[in-house]
């Protein structure tokens, strides 16, 4: 959520900032909200003051043993007027809030200008794509030859966009998760977390999935719960309604969870293979930090995600999202894109964002600023470190051999009991 003061005091500047991401702010509506809110609130408070005054006098009179029936009659109509004013104010404030909840975050000044994906700016590249003396297969073919990746049976068990992994690929996926968790917790200093995979509506609102993106979620209406689309939701909500001391920051968490997404808006896109599934594994990095250091932390966190790709020796590039391609809650985002030989292109495998105080305001996640002594909103960040399903694909495709076997990256061999290759025969 945007700063309500700013929205009130200077809606023009908010409108200008949002226009860079193609969002038009209804200025007339903002001004109308402000005028009505101010008037109703003052009226309500005046009536409350009056009522409190009368009630105190009645209390005092009663204590003196005086007759209070006349005084009571005098206040009789006040209650109704107050109730009317309070209700009108409630209605208006709810209207203002639901309006504000639909507004996306303001892009940071360093975010490149642009309308969509094609305007994103490549920041760097790492590694070189292997040249194959044969035509590289995609992960679907490779998985089928290993008899370890089955989309058809998943459809009979659940629906399309699910997969069943077995044997060496199920184990390889587990090895990737272990490797990522170990790296981030031991080498990078994140605290490993295990959290609920179902969360309530308040948590979804806190990180920005609700109210605007309800259709992207899997919902359990009978329980009032939602399946998490990313560990970002439960982990960031650890800071909800909390005030951290300066010494407690930064809070840094790493968490592996399955992620559930309805992919409502992507019919027909990436229908082949494991690129886009309703359920996938992800290791997520989350930080809660003091505002003045959040952009330095974004660079750091992105570097932590990059180190996984580097250790797996997977070629990738780092891209700064342009304003028009930014997610709803993000002020700045780097995407990491891994090289997929079968598609001869880079595909997103991690998304690292600084949300500034956008999520913190919804969450009431704060820290006590030593300079002011006051609780102030902190900044939240997160990034995939990495999307495990897509990492599995990338390893399979980049490490494949002509006979359909797959080399095991050196850093994963210890997690596979020293195994160096996965082959169809075995």
Residues of this chain that interact with RNA (CB under 7 A) are 4, 8, 38, 41-42, 44-45, 48-49, 51-52, 54-56, 58-60, 62-63, 68, 72, 75-76, 78-79, 90, 243, 374-375
Is 337 one of the catalytic residues? no
Tell me, yes or no, if 276 is annotated catalytic. Answer: yes
Which CB sits closer to RNA, 87 or 420? Answer: 87
Least distance to RNA from the beta carbon of 101, Å? 16
Kindly give the residue spans of alpha helices, DSSP state H, lying in 208-275. Answer: 232-236
Tell me whether residue 237 or residue 350 sits nearer to RNA (CB atom): 237
CB-nearer residue toward RNA: 297 or 379: 379
Cβ at position 65, least distance to RNA in Å: 11
Residue from 95, 192, 313, 348 carrying the catalytic annotation: 348
Which contacts qualify for 48-51: CB closer than 8 Å, 24 or more apart? 48/82, 50/78, 51/75, 51/78, 51/79, 51/82
Minimum CB separation from RNA for residue 104, in Å? 21
Query: Smallest distance from the beta carbon of 288 to RNA, in angstroms?
Result: 17
Strands (E), 207-327: 219-220, 225-227, 243-244, 251-260, 279-289, 316-320
Q: Is 20 a catalytic residue?
A: no
Find the catalytic residue in 261, 361, 362, 366: 261
Length of the chain as a residue count: 426
The set of residues, in sequence order, having a beta carbon less than 8 Å from that of 243 and lying 6+ positions away, is 366, 367, 368, 375
Complex with RNA: residue 42 or 186, whichever CB lies closer: 42
Can you tell me whether residue 225 is helix, strand or coil?
strand
Our CB check for RNA shows the closer of 151 and 226 to be 226
- Smaller CB separation from RNA, 76 or 425: 76
Specify burial of residue 374 (Cβ count, 10 A radius: 0-12, 13-18, 19+).
exposed
**E strands in 24-84:** none
From 37, 174, 242, 276, the catalytic residue: 276
- Among 161, 205, 390, 397, the active-site one is 390
300 is catalytic: no
CB of 87 to RNA, least distance (A): 8
Q: Return the closest-CA partner of residue 89 out of 124, 38, 138.
A: 38
> Which one is catalytic: 351, 362, 366, 397?
351
Q: Taking the complex as a whole, how short is the minimal distance between the CB of residue 34 and RNA, in angstroms?
A: 9
Q: Which is nearer to RNA, 58 or 92 (CB)?
A: 58
* Kind of pairing between the strands at 191-193 and 279-289: unpaired
Helices then strands (H, E): number in the chain? 13, 18
**351 given a catalytic annotation:** yes
Helix or strand run (H / E) with residue 25: none
Diameter of the chain by CA atoms? 104
Q: Which residues contact 309 (CB under 8 A, 6 or more apart)?
A: 126, 127, 316, 336, 338, 349, 386
| Least separation in angstroms between CB 99 and RNA | 16
Q: What is the dihedral of CA 121, 126, 132, 135, to 10 degrees?
A: -30
Burial 356-366 (b: 16+ CB within 10 A, else e): bbbbbbbbebb
Active site residues: 261, 276, 348, 351, 390
């Amino acid at each position: 959520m945007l700063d309500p003061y700013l929205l009130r005091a200077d809606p023009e500047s908010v409108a200008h900032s949002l226009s860079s991401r193609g969002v038009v702010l209804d200025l007339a509506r903002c001004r109308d909200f402000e005028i009505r809110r101010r008037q109703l609130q003052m009226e309500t408070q005046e009536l409350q003051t009056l009522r409190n005054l009368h009630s105190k006098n009645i209390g005092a009179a009663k204590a003196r043993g005086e007759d209070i029936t006349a005084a009571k009659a005098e206040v009789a109509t006040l209650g109704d007027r107050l109730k009317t004013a309070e209700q009108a104010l409630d209605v208006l404030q709810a209207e203002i809030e639901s309006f504000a909840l639909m507004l996306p975050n303001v892009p940071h000044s360093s975010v490149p200008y642009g309308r969509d994906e094609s305007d994103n700016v490549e920041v760097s590249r790492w590694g070189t794509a292997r040249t194959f003396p044969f035509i590289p297969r995609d992960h679907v073919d490779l998985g089928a030859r290993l008899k370890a990746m089955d989309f058809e049976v998943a459809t009979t068990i659940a629906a399309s966009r699910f997969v069943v992994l077995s044997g060496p690929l199920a184990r390889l996926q587990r090895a990737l998760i272990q490797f990522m968790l170990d790296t981030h917790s031991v080498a990078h200093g994140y605290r490993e977390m295990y959290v609920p995979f179902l969360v309530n509506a308040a948590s979804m609102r806190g990180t920005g999935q609700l109210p605007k993106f309800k259709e992207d979620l899997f919902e359990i209406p009978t329980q009032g719960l939602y399946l998490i689309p990313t560990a970002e939701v439960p982990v960031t909500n650890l800071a909800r309604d909390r005030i951290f001391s300066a010494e407690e920051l930064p809070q840094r968490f790493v968490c592996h969870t399955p992620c559930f997404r309805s992919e409502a808006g992507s019919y027909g896109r990436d229908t082949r293979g494991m690129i886009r599934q309703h359920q996938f594994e992800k290791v997520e990095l989350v930080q809660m930090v003091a505002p003045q250091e959040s952009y330095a932390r974004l660079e750091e966190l992105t570097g932590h995600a990059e180190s996984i790709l580097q250790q797996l020796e997977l070629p990738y590039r780092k891209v700064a999202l342009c304003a028009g391609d930014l997610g709803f809650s993000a002020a700045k985002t780097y995407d990491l894109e891994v090289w997929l030989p079968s598609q001869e292109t880079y595909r997103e495998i991690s998304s690292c964002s600084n949300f500034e105080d956008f999520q913190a305001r919804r969450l009431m996640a704060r820290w006590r600023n030593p300079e002011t002594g006051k609780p102030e909103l902190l900044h939240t960040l997160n990034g995939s470190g990495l999307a495990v399903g897509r990492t599995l694909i990338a390893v399979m495709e980049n490490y494949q051999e002509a006979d359909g076997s797959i080399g095991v990256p050196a850093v994963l061999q210890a997690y596979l009991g020293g195994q160096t290759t996965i082959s169809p025969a075995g």
